[in-house]
Each structure stands twice: as C-alpha cells, then as structure tokens.
Chain A
Amino acid sequence: MLVKTLLIGLVALVGYSEYFLTGASMIFRPIALAPLVGIVLGNIPEAIKVGAAMELAYIGVVEVGISTPQDMVSASVLGTTFALSTGKGISAALTFGLPLSMLVLIVQNVMYIFVAPLYVNKMDEYAKKAEDRKLSLMAFWGGTAVNFLPSVLFIMLAYYFGTGFSKQIISVIPQFVQDGLVVASGLLPAFGFALLIQQMLRKDIVPYMILGFALTAYLKIPIIGIAIFGLVIVMILYYNEKKLKQQMDLIGKGATDDDESF
C-alpha cells in the first residue's frame, strides 16, 4: 500500500509536469493520466476506459488565460483510483473526483496567494543582482515545490486513507444517485461540447457543425473520417480563395492597364 501510494504520488507529479516540465503537453488530461494510474494499480484496459469516459465528461474544461475551472490532475488520478477500487467505473470517478479536486483547487489557491509571493520576491532580488543561476534555481525548484508538491501530497493522502473507505462510502450512497451519476456522465459531454462551440462560435462556421453532426448521425462515419472530410473542405476553401485572389489581382491589373491606355 505504501509503495502504491508513492507510485500514485509519482503519477500525480507526472500530471503536474504539464506546468513545470512538459510545457502544456496535455499530460494532465484524464485520457493520458488514467492509463498511468492503471499501470500502478495493475488494471490498464479498465483504466483507459475510465479515462476516456472522464475525458468526455471534462472535455469542456480548458484553462483559458488565468481561469482554472478544475484541477484536472487530482480529478483524473483520484477519479481513476476510486473507479478501479470500487469497481463502479465513471460513477465513482465523478463521485470522488469532483469534490476532491475542488478541495485541491482551494489548496492551490491558498499557496498561490500566501506562499508564491515569497519566491517571486526572491527572484526579484536575484534579478537586481544579476544572479541568474540563483534566479533559475528559485524559479524551477521554488515554483515546483510551492505550486505542485502540496497537491501531490494531498492526492497521496486521499489515496492512502480513501481507498479503504471508498467501498463503504459508496455503499451509503443511494442507488438512484449512483445511476444518476452514470446518466450525468452521458450528459456531461453535452456541457463540454456546448462550451467548445461557444468558444469557436461564429455564424459563418455553424454550417460545418451541422454537417459534422449529420454525417455521423445519419451515416455513422467515425471521427477520423469526419476529420478527413473536414480537411478536404478546408483544402477546397483554401485553393478557391487562392484562385479568387489571383483573379482579383488580374482584374485589378487589367483595370490599371486600361486606365493607362486611355
């Protein structure tokens, strides 16, 4: 159990490397983290399935600018561990993942507000003295320790103390609530897609959404097929615009030639 807890902590650390080492590589998404949890707990195929279901439920969670709507790492790691330990799948992943990740978000905000200014002040000091080596060390190690280690510890504690209780907790929750959460996992992608549509929405590209919908709803074309159709449309648009531009240039040229000949 102790070894597993350490390994779960390692997986969480890999998840937070999204910020401190792998440069927004999407390693913190459930689709990527759940399989790693699966390796630790020895059930990879099931973990991948839970990861896919969570990815859909959280698909609309995007870190735009400074707003972090949800801590994806704890939601993914704890969601997967409890889904596997209770055998309840996505229902358990949401039951435990949602509230616990909200607690982690609070922990992070406390660190950002009260502790982060300490290393920023140090960095200011080093910048003034041109001590670039110390500044780098403070940025990387100070930042990582303050911003991410507390969350990693929280995840390890939640795993260590939670796994034993998770079965009892879930047996207290009424069956219709558990079924309701499975229903919610089917509905949450609608919430995610709506957020995505809202972000991309311009009137002139609405037809493409309808086209994508109709192609799968009526013809059952898999997503890769849709992406190929989309690519073809984009290429056609691109070449047409290019041709149009050439013709416009030609007309423009012709017009000036006419002007000159008069």
Chain B
Amino acid sequence: MMKVSNNEMRKALWSTFWRSFAANAPWELTRQEATGYAFSMVPSLRVIYKDDKNGKAQALQRHMQFFNITNVLLPLVLGTSIAMEEENKANPDFDPAIINNVKVSLMGPLSAIGDSMFLTTWRVICMGISLALCQAGNILGPILFMASYNAVTIAVRWFGLKIGYEQGTKFIQRVSDSNIIQNISNKASILGMMVVGAMIPSYVVVNSPIKIGTGKSAVSLVSTLNQIVPSMLPLAATLIVLWMIRKKWKVSWILVTVVAFSIIGTWLHILSA
C-alpha cells in the first residue's frame, strides 16, 4: 500500500538526484558523508513523512549517522534508503534499524568498486584519449575529457537512483550473488591497465645527456637503450616507483624523492629535460 502519489514521489526523486551532486558540501571528518546523505534525503523524506513530524525527525537523525561512499554511487544507496523509508512508514512492523544496516553493509564493497572503476580506471581512460588534444593547446581536449567522463557517471547516478528505489535491496542482493559488478570491474581494469601501460612510453619522459664513446663516434645512452627496448627508461622509472610503493614507502616521501632525484640528476648532468 503506497500512501504517496507516484507523481509527488517522482518529483521528490528528482530533487534527491540533484541534491546528491551537492552531497559533499557539508563533508566533515567525524561523520564524513552522513551530513550530505541527510541533506540529499530531505525531499523524499518530506513526501514520505508528510503528516508525521516525529517519523521525519527520526528518519533525519537516522541519516545523520556515519556514512561514506564514492560520490558516483551515492544515488544507488539513496534509492534503496528511500524505498525502505517508504516501507517503514507503510508497515508498522518494519524495523527501521535495517535501513542503516543495509547502508553500512553497502558502504565498503561499493566504495571499493566505485573508487577503482570511476576515480581510477574511467578517469584515466578519458584523460588518455583527450591528452593529445590538450598538449596541442586545443580547447576540445578539456571539453572531451569532461564530456566523456561525466556522460557515463551522470548516467550511473540516474540509473543508480532509479534501480535502487524501484528494486530496493533485491537488486543489490541479486547483483552481489551473480558477481555482475565484480565482472564489470574486472573488465574495466583490463581496459584501464592497457591504457596505463600505453601511457608510459607516451608520457613519461626521461632524458640523459650522457654519451658513450668520444668524439664523432659517441652515441647517446638513451638512444642505445631505446634500441634494446624502446622507452626502456620510462618503463624502468615506473617500475622503480612501483617497487617503492610495494615496499610501503610513504607516498609523500616518494614524491620528494622523485623531485630531489630530478634536481640532483640535472645538477650532476646525468639527467636533462
């Protein structure tokens, strides 16, 4: 039994959708995205608890509890919460504690997938295809980057909210049973890995003024190495940094090391631009 009209709810879902874009405005250290979550829930809660001030107060407080997720997947979780809040209002036997339990259980796995799929893989693919235009100073480069990245993420946001609301937790249950998300994420990382591999020779630049031999017969070290394996130095540089990361060096120390190595190398005439 649905107490709210479909039309009213559709409007509220739209509002929640738009508000999810602003969800990180009140981000805060102790409860992180919870503030933004409550903020995004407001339009829908307003409709669901139209005549029930106490119910609304409890729902708002419920969604002020700790939460954090990759922003792109936030609408999916919002959708399930809205569906459950409706259930909570309609069915007096419903235990509202489930709402937050579901949120907490989704938080970890969805964030891991969201971070690696959108923030890493998809961003790098979009950047890779628009970078050549940017390096030529062409305004289409940045536009291509923003358009391609956001076309996908906005679609994911909208359908996430829709699916989350219409199917509730059933969808997420089904998806986690059939490993669909895991599978998509595996395929995306294959594509991402290829693009990252391809970007190493194109965009890592290591040059050296060192010459082997003397006089006219001298050949440069870099071109000799490139005859063995093209772009050998960029690959070596990447693998060395990867080794540092695997050895659990602190990221900021690696950054300092790279910059210091570049400056000292230039000073000693081992490296050149």
A interface residues, Cβ below 8 angstroms from B: 18-27, 29, 31-32, 34-35, 44-46, 48-49, 51-53, 55-56, 59, 62-66, 69, 94, 112-113, 116-117, 119-120, 123-124, 126-130, 132, 135-136, 138-140, 142-144, 147, 176-177, 179-184, 186-191, 193-200, 202, 205-206, 208-218, 221-224, 226-227, 229-231, 233-234, 237-238
Contacts and interface: CB of A to CB of B under 8 A. Distances in A.
A193 B171 CA distance: 35
Nearest to B75: A23
Nearest to B130: A31
B203 A64 contact: no
B262 A211 contact: no
A230 B138 CA distance: 26
Given A177-B263, A184-B259, A227-B125, A139 B26 contact: yes
A52 B135 contact: yes
Contacts of A130: 49, 53-54, 56-57, 60
B99 to A, nearest CB: 15
Interface string B194-217: 111111111111110000000000
B198 A181 contact: no
B71 A24 contact: yes
Given A31-B127, A216-B202, 20 more contacts: A32-B146, A65-B115, A120-B26, A126-B60, A181-B259, A186-B207, A186-B273, A187-B206, A189-B199, A196-B124, A197-B238, A200-B116, A205-B186, A208-B194, A213-B201, A216-B198, A217-B231, A227-B125, A230-B194, A234-B190
Given A23-B21, A66-B32, A188-B258, A183 B265 contact: yes
A200 B192 contact: yes
B187 interface: yes
Contact of B119 (A64, A66, A116, A181): A64
B135 to A, nearest CB: 5
B9 interface: no
B42 A223 contact: no
Contacts of B26: 116, 119-120, 123, 138-140, 142-143, 147
Interface of B: 19-32, 35-36, 38-39, 42, 45-46, 49, 53-54, 56-57, 60-61, 64, 68, 70-72, 111, 115-116, 118-121, 123-125, 127-132, 134-139, 141-142, 145-146, 149-150, 153, 157, 186-187, 189-207, 229-231, 234-235, 237-242, 244-246, 251-252, 254-255, 258-259, 261-267, 271-273
B190 A49 contact: no
Contacts of A135: 38-39, 42, 60
Majority-rule SS of A interface residues: helix
